[in-house]
Each structure stands twice: as C-alpha cells, then as structure tokens.
C-alpha cells in the first residue's frame, strides 16, 4: 500500500481503534453483532470492515475473528428470506462480495453464487433496496460482473418484472409503498433506490420496459423535490406534507443524489445532473446529530466520495476527508464518543449501518476512496470506488 500522508494516517489510526473495539465485541459473542442474516447490523457488516482493516494492517487476531464470523454463518441458504442488499439471503451474498473485495478469497464467490442460486423462483414481496427486490437485483448484477454467470441475469429480469408489477401508477410517474401507506422517496426504501436499480438493469439487459419504469420513478420523486433560496433539497413521502428537510442516505438528498451520481452514463441526462447537484448543495445547509452510515454524517460523506471518485473531482474527495477528520478530532481518539446510540434504550451500536463498524469502514474509504468499495451505493458494476 502507498505511503500515507499525515491526515490519512490519522484517519487510519482512528479506524484501527474502532477495529479493536469491534473485535472485542465479536469475542464476547454479542448476539446482535453475530446475527447471520443481517448486513445492516450483524456479522457480515463487521466482517466487511475488519477485512478492509486486515488488508491495511494485517494481524493474526483479525484473521481469526474473520474466520469466526464466516464459519458461524450457515451457508445453506435455507431458512432465510430473500431479503435485499442489507437483510436476508441477499445481505449474506453482498457481505461475501465485500469481504472478497478485501481478501481475494475465491471461496467467497463460490458461496455467494450458491446462495444466489438458492433464490431461483423465490418471489420477493418487498421492493426496496434494504429488504427487497431492488437490493437483490443490485447484488446479483454485482455478482454477475464478477462471475459472468448468465443465470444471474435471468434472475434479475424476473425480479425487475416483479418491481414493475408492484409499482403504483401516479399522477406523475410510478411509486412503491414500502414502509408507509404512501409511495416513498429516497434511496433505502423509495423511488431513488428502486428507480435507479431499474435503470442499471436496463443498462445490463437492454429491455426498454425497465428504462421506462426507472425514469418514471425518478420523475415521481422529482415532483416532490423543490429547491428553496438556499438550494436545499426537500422530500416527503406524501404522508407527512410538512416534513422537514432530510439529507441522509436512507431518506433525502444524500441518498437521492447518490442514486443519480451512480447512474449508467446512458441514463444520465440534464434532469439527473440537476438532481445530483442539488443534493450536493443540500450537504452544506443541513447538519446531523448522528455519525452512522444510514442516517448520519458518514452516510452523507459517501455522496462526496461517490461523486468525487466517479467524476474525478478531487475537491469533493478533499471535502469528505476534511469532514471525517473534523469528526475524528472532535471524538479525541475515544471510539466510545462516536454518536451511534440506537433504540429507546440508546444502546451503543457496533454494527455496520448504525454503528462503529460502518464508521470504521468509511474512515478506511476516506483513506483509499478508489480502492475500498462503496457499500452504500450497492453499485452493480463498480467494484471499487
């Protein structure tokens, strides 16, 4: 690995401190962290972080923890819902692909392929990225990029047709009900994630029905986005007409912008570019009280990294690093100071999307943004960056 500058060493050192805490937690047998079918808060999120940390700073301790995380996961594929990118069998496939990206262990690709084959002819009753067909499509396309297995494309087409069948025609465009009774916007559960997934599928298989449905989804979402005098991006899902400005990965500008910045180039037009630029502007007019990937500052940083790497804009990568360094220095080297408490009981989280593993992973991504894959984009083709 190239020699790191002072700022990169500081970010990497903070990630190492987080890694020690996560390994201790795995060693105590934390049942929430070791939940097998959950990338969102469970074992494969911790494994993805520790695998990248192992690549940067190899140690026998990290290797043994990684082996435990992998060994304890039943790889039969039975007894699990299809899920999406962050839950169910889909998460167990995506987790293996993330660990493979750091380790190069081909066994992980074989296991991922076997798990995906077990989902043939399984119907998914959800549509979203986190727990539904959109997430499965992205993970399957990513696996196809690595293996070239034509059966994976057949599966994604079937899941794409499921998404179209679940869509609700609206006055403007198409929407899906996922977490509320009204069609949702945003990346994790709404039109940004589902619509952009259909466009990625169109790009891979060239079926025009996916292109039409994808753009219809983005048009619905665009009808609920408005820029005010400070260029903020506001969204609501129809059920909360006076919703405040949101700018997170799960809901709002950060996730919406990322869905646009990562579109295939043949699906990138003036309206998508405008959406993406509005999302970047929104980062400067909103603040968050959480540090996590899902609904906190490190999820917002991903928008800067994604746009910076994809379009070679070093200024955006520099801004992402400055934001991360500010947070590291505010925490004064104490990983327990990170704002990752969840639930009514304000439990400290060690997982990927709501906790320390995600912060550690994103710190490593700030150090090597072109080499550490983006987790939050679940990009079907770009395996790094």
pLDDT at 1: 59
pLDDT the model gives residue 316: 96
| Helix 133-147 and helix 150-166, axial crossing angle in degrees, nearest 10 | 160
DSSP state of 281: H
The Cα 226–Cα 373 span in angstroms is: 31
CA atoms of 260 and 272, how far apart (whole Å): 6
102 vs 56: CA distance, rounded Å = 9
pLDDT for 38 equals 79
Q: What is the DSSP letter of 3?
A: P
Cα→Cα distances 377→213, 332, 335, 373, Å: 20, 30, 26, 9
The pLDDT of residue 226 is: 60
Q: What is the pLDDT of residue 66?
A: 79
**DSSP-derived secondary structure letter, 137:** H
Cβ pair 196, 219 in contact under 8 A: no
Alpha-carbon 4 to chain mean position = 26
pLDDT at 190: 96
For position 175, what pLDDT does the model report?
Answer: 97
CB 192 within 8 A of CB 243: no
The pLDDT of residue 2 is: 67
- Residue 59 has a pLDDT of 73
| H-only helix segments in 40-172 | 43-56, 60-71, 88-103, 106-117, 133-147, 150-166
How high is the pLDDT of residue 81?
84
φ and ψ at residue 56, rounded to 5 degrees: -80, -35
What residues of the chain score a pLDDT lower than 50?
A: 75-78, 227-242
Judged by DSSP in three states, 175 sits in: strand
Exposed/middle/buried for 346, CB within 10 Å: 0-12, 13-18, 19+? exposed
123, 162 Cβ separation under 8 angstroms: yes
Q: What is the pLDDT of residue 284?
A: 84
Q: Which residues of 313-332 are buried (b: 16+ CB within 10 A; e: fewer)?
A: eeebbebbbebbbebbeebe
Who's near 10: CB < 8 A, 6+ residues apart? 325, 328
Q: Residue 200 has what pLDDT?
A: 98
Q: State CA 135 to chain mean position distance.
A: 9
Tokens of 5: 């500058």
Tell whether the torsion through CA atoms of 219, 128, 373 and 315 is positive or negative. positive
């Amino acid at each position: 690995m190239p020699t790191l500058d002072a700022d990169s060493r500081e970010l990497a050192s903070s990630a190492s401190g987080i890694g020690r805490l996560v390994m201790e937690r795995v060693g105590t047998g934390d049942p929430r962290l070791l939940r097998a079918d959950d990338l969102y808060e469970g074992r494969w999120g911790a494994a993805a972080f520790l695998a990248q940390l192992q690549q940067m700073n190899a140690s026998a301790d990290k290797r043994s923890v990684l082996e435990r995380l992998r060994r304890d996961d039943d790889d039969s594929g039975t007894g699990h819902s299809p899920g999406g990118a962050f839950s169910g069998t889909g998460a167990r496939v995506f987790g293996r692909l993330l660990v493979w990206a750091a380790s190069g262990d081909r066994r992980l690709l074989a296991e991922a392929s076997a798990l995906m084959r077990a989902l043939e002819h399984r119907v998914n009753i959800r549509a979203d990225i986190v727990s539904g067909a959109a997430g499965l499509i992205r993970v399957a396309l990513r696996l196809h990029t690595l293996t070239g297995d034509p059966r994976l494309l057949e599966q994604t087409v079937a899941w794409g047709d499921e998404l179209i069948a679940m869509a609700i025609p609206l006055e403007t465009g198409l929407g899906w009900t996922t977490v509320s009774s009204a069609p949702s916007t945003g990346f994790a559960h709404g039109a940004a994630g589902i619509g952009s997934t259909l466009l990625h599928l169109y790009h891979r298989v060239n079926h025009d029905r996916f292109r039409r449905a994808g753009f219809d989804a983005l048009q619905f979402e665009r009808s609920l986005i408005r820029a005010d005098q400070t260029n903020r991006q506001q969204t609501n899902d129809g059920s909360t007409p006076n919703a405040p400005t949101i700018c997170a990965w799960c809901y709002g500008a950060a996730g919406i912008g990322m869905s646009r910045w990562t579109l295939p180039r043949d699906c990138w037009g003036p309206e998508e570019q405008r959406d993406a630029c509005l999302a970047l502007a929104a980062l400067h007019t909103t603040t968050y009280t959480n540090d996590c990937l899902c609904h906190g500052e490190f999820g917002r940083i991903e928008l800067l990294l994604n746009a910076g790497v994809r379009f070679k804009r070093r200024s955006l990568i520099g801004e992402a690093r400055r934001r991360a360094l500010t947070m590291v220095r505010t925490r004064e080297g104490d990983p327990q100071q990170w704002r990752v408490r969840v639930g009514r009981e304000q439990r400290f989280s060690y997982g990927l999307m709501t906790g320390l593993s995600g912060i550690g992973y994103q710190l490593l991504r700030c150090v090597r943004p072109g080499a550490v894959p983006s987790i939050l984009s679940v990009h079907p083709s770009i395996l790094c960056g």
